[in-house]
Structure 1
Amino acid sequence: MSDHEESKIESVMEKITEKFHGDSSSSDSDDDKSSSTLQAKIFRLFGREKPVHKVFGGGKPADVFLWRNKKISAGILGGVTAIWVLFDLLEYHLLTLVCHCLILALAVLFLWSNATTFINKSPPRIPEVSIPEEPILEFAAALRIEINRAFAILRDIASGKDLKKFLSVIAGLWVLSIVGNCCNFLTLFYIAFVLLHTVPVLYEKYEDQVDSFAEKAMVEIKKQYAVFDAKVLSKIPRGPLKNKKH
């Protein structure tokens, strides 16, 4: 076989190899695109793009709400439950509880300090208790940011730009007023606290099933809203400024 024929065969083989690699790379890119589009099409509740842990801030509060440390989460939930039982079921008053706790603590420390003189031991050293400044300032700053954000959302809703959001907020406040009429503030706070410690961890565990069901529910809600818009909202007369814009 001549050198010319060998060079032709090598060039043909190179072309076939390049074509094969090109097809494989294009198929890989197509697979990446299809997988990315498939991931983009996955419905997440409330348009969530981050994991549930990141939604809650990703710090220690998120660990507590999502039961990353079961002892701490169970202790906090048990403590809040005990407070609710004392103040709501047993109708214990806060001032009475604080006074009784102080009486008990002072009596125990006083008796312990005097008992050490009879058994020839040094009296116990009572530790100094002080509230640190930095956590209080961080909590106040975070609370201020959330309150300002809530005011901005309420202002945006009251401006009349989104009728759907306005109606949903009005319906939510109406339901909340009915619930608040049925139980006192402490019970309502306890229910919200228990839901905050149970619903996120259950949602994180079964998020695919919940998101699939929520997607179907949102489709149905949009259909019903479209019917309501066609039969009721579209028949509401618009103001002169809005007609001029249209």
Structure 2
Amino acid sequence: MPFDEAIPRTCVVLNGRGFVGRSLVLRLLELGQCIVRVTDSTQSLQLDPSESNSLLSDSLSSGRAEYHQVDVRDISQIKKVLEGASTVFYMDATDLNTDDFYNCYMIIVQGAKNVVTACREWKVRRLVYNSTADVVFDGSHDIHNGDETLTCRWKFQDLMCDLKAQAEALVLFANNIDGLLTCALRPSNVFGPGDTQLVPLLVNLAKPGWTKFIIGSGENMSDFTYVENVAHAHVCAAEALDSRMVSVAGMAFFITNLEPIKFWDFLSIILEGLGYQRPFIKLPTGVVWYIILLVKWIHEKFGLRTYNHSLSACYIVQLASRTRTFDCIAAQKHTGYSPVVSLEEGVSSTIQSFSHLARDSSLAYSRDFNEQSKVEKLLGGGKVADILLWKDEKKTFTYFLVLVLLFYWFFLGGSTLTSSAAKFLLLLSAVLFGYGILPSNIFGFNVKRISPSCFELSETVIKDSIARIAFLWNMGFRNIRLLAKGDDWNTFFKVAGSLYLSKLMLQSFTWSIGLALVFAFTAFFVYEQYEPEIDGLAKFLFNYLKKSKVSLIRNVPAPVVSFLYDCKILHEHKAPAEGNDRKRLQ
């Protein structure tokens, strides 16, 4: 500015109530060498409880800071607040609805045009634009120590990056016109207290257990920048525009903490600091990518309104799986920038500021092992449940090994089922007879005799078995009688589906038995271990299908919809919207 002049200058921080804007305002007030005009789109300044007795509130009272409502889409409001200003900082607009392209364009791109025009008209000396390092990232290639020779991409996966690149170009192109000096800063992955994106997103994903997954190898490096360092970089850039005008004006500079770290290590530190489990399950990037492409195709096919979210998901996967590190030598050399807060200090401060989002141990999911889990109740909670849930690993493995040997004996041994059964009974008879003639003591080891009761069945068990067979027979006869009437479509679909499934299983009977064996000893155990995550996924899919049902019905032929309603598969009283669609189609 320079900030050490005797007469204080006036600085304007556009969008000064955003994440980075707030930190910059405090940085300027701490320096105490300029009057700070803070602007935002809200009608009046609403201070947070933490700001009630802060430097900002004191400065507003003393006149060292002023607040102005400014809509950057209205150039007259910008001109009014820039009158008499020597330096303008144009910061990020926050909480934009990315589904509204026109509004985003008007605020980011048209807003940049209006700011440049107003600065030129009022002969503002310096304009510093807060851009992003994402403007040089195409999502397909890693960036290792990228410098300012990297060019902006022509095509972006993310809408906001595209618009930010356009706004940055407008600001830099306006350099040295009508005496205006401009530059842009490109911070990478900004984080810190007051963050509205990174940490809240992590917490929202961590609550249902999604942050247990690592996309890719987990070895990709990234640069993160603490918010106070970004604010400090803006002050350095504004000062450098005067003292080192040729090397700074019209240029863009990367800003980082100068401490590259593995992307997933950084997230793990944040999550652990807030009491959540760090990621540990690796998912191939290709698998995640195909899932997102499938969701994107569904959005396009059925015209769902959430289409832009699939684009954002694609971009998040790219950020999480690619290396993105940047070289800050140019910023250090030409602007004098150097981090004022280390990465470790920044992370610690961030975790402390988000303590209200930390995992509440009293509400966190933790199983009481004296209480049966869902799957244990499903299996009846007896010996079968203990075996399939691996309560006793040795016992379960023994049963699994025996069943695998039996499976091989009957289905993979090359003999017919009858001959395999005969051989098995012959072997079993020889083993039992041999075990029976063993001496009671062999080299000091006692041989326990098999009790005859092991081969006996009580009258109750036999009666229950016969009753069960009779019940199944009667239920089958009842279903056949309902089919013969020809007026119960639900029963028809159930019976036909069951028979068709049985036909498919009989066609590949051996593989079906093998898969069932593996499934029984793995699926129940996995579900018990990851019950919250699996339930959360099921709930997400159910809600997604429920929200998509209206769009799906609109794309189904009218006769099919009528048929489904006649079969009572769709219920009008539970889904009035679908009923309207049916009437429309009819």
1:28-39 alignment, distance < 5 Å: none
RMSD: 4.6
What's the offset of the Cα at 1:79? Answer: 0.7
The answer to whether structure 1 residue 140 and structure 2 residue 465 are counterparts is yes
Distance 1:60-1:226 versus aligned 2 partners, 3 A rule:
farther
Confirm whether residue 216 of structure 1 aligns to residue 540 of structure 2.
yes
Find the aligned partners of 1:199 and 1:209 in 2 and give their Cα distance: 14
1:87 counterpart residue number: 410
Match of residue 54 from structure 1: 377
* SS of equivalent residue, structure 1 residue 189: helix
Please tell me whether residue 102 in structure 1 is matched to residue 425 in structure 2: no
Q: Which residue is 1:235 aligned to? A: 562
Q: How far did 1:195 drift? A: 1.2
TM score, norm. by length of structure 1: 0.52
Q: 1:127–1:80: structure 2 CA closer, same or farther, 3 Å change rule?
A: closer
- 1:72 partner amino acid: K
Q: Is the 1:65–1:196 contact (alpha carbons within 8 Å) kept by the matching residues of 2?
A: yes
CA contact (8 A) 1:84 1:190 kept: yes
Amino acid at match of 2:560: L
Distance 1:232 1:137 in 2: 52
Is 1:78 aligned to 2:401, yes or no?
yes
Deviations 1:99-137 (CA, angstroms, capped at 9, x unpaired): 244356657877x79xxxxxxxxxx99866352323844
Q: What residue in structure 1 maps to residue 517 of structure 2?
A: 193
Change (3 A) 1:193 1:102: same
Distance 1:228 1:172, change over 3 A: farther
Matched, 1:204 2:531: no
Structure 1 range deviating more: 61-70 or 188-197: 188-197
Report the Cα offset of residue 226 of structure 1.
Answer: 4.2
Aligned-pair identity in percent equals 16
* Superposition TM-score, scaled by structure 2 size: 0.25
CA distance in 2, matches of 1:63, 1:138: 26
Q: Which has the higher helix share?
A: 1
In 2, are the aligned partners of 1:53 and 1:62 still within 8 Å (CA)? yes
In the alignment, the residues of structure 1 paired with residue 375 and residue 478 of structure 2 have an alpha-carbon distance, to the nearest angstrom, of 22
TM-aligned CA deviation for residue 95 of structure 1: 0.5
**Contact 1:80-1:190 within 8 A present in 2 as well:** no
1:140 maps to a residue whose letter is S
Matches within 5 A, 1:121-136: 129-130=452-453, 131-134=455-458, 136=461
State the SS of the aligned residue for 1:235: helix
Query: Distance in 2 between the 1:238 and 1:61 partners?
Result: 42
Q: CA deviation at 1:180?
A: 2.6
Aligned equivalent of 1:180: 506
- In structure 1, what is the Cα distance between the partners aligned to 2:492 and 2:556? 14
- Shift, 1:83, TM fit: 0.6
Per the TM alignment, residue 205 of structure 1 is displaced from its structure 2 partner at its CA by: 0.8
Note the alpha carbon deviations across 1:32-55, whole angstroms, 9 max, x for none. Answer: xxxxxxx9xxxxxxxxxx722112
| Distance change >3 Å, CA 178–CA 202, structure 1 → 2 | same
Cα distance between partner residues in 2 of 1:125 and 1:85: 29
Q: What corresponds to 1:66 in structure 2? A: 389
Q: Secondary structure of 2:452's partner?
A: coil
Determine the C-alpha separation between the residues in 2 that align with 1:51 and 1:208: 11
For the residue of structure 2 that corresponds to 1:133, the secondary structure is coil
How far did 1:88 drift?
1.6
Q: Distance in 2 between matches of 1:85 and 1:96?
A: 13
Measured after TM superposition, the shift of residue 57 of structure 1 is 1.2
8 Å CA contact 2:375–2:524 kept in 1: the answer is yes
Within 2, Cα distance between the matches of 1:210 and 1:153? 37
Would the alpha carbon gap of residues 62 and 211 (structure 1) be closer, same or farther in structure 2, given more than 3 Å must change? Answer: same
C-alpha spacing 1:145/1:170, structure 2 compared with 1 (3 Å):
same
Amino acid at match of 1:194: V
The 3 A distance-change label for structure 1 pair 175 and 88 is same
More strand by share: 2
Alpha-carbon shift at residue 199 of structure 1 (Å): 0.7
- Partner secondary structure for residue 391 of structure 2: coil
Taking a change above 3 Å as real, the CA distance of residues 100 and 205 of structure 1, as seen in their structure-2 partners, is closer
Deviation, structure 1 residue 82: 0.2
Label 1:227 to 1:80 Cα distance change in 2 as closer, same or farther (>3 A).
farther
Structure 2: distance between partners of 1:126 and 1:204: 37
CA contact (8 A) 1:65 1:200 kept: yes
Deviations 1:190-232 (A, max 9, x none): 4223212211111111111111221232234442774577734
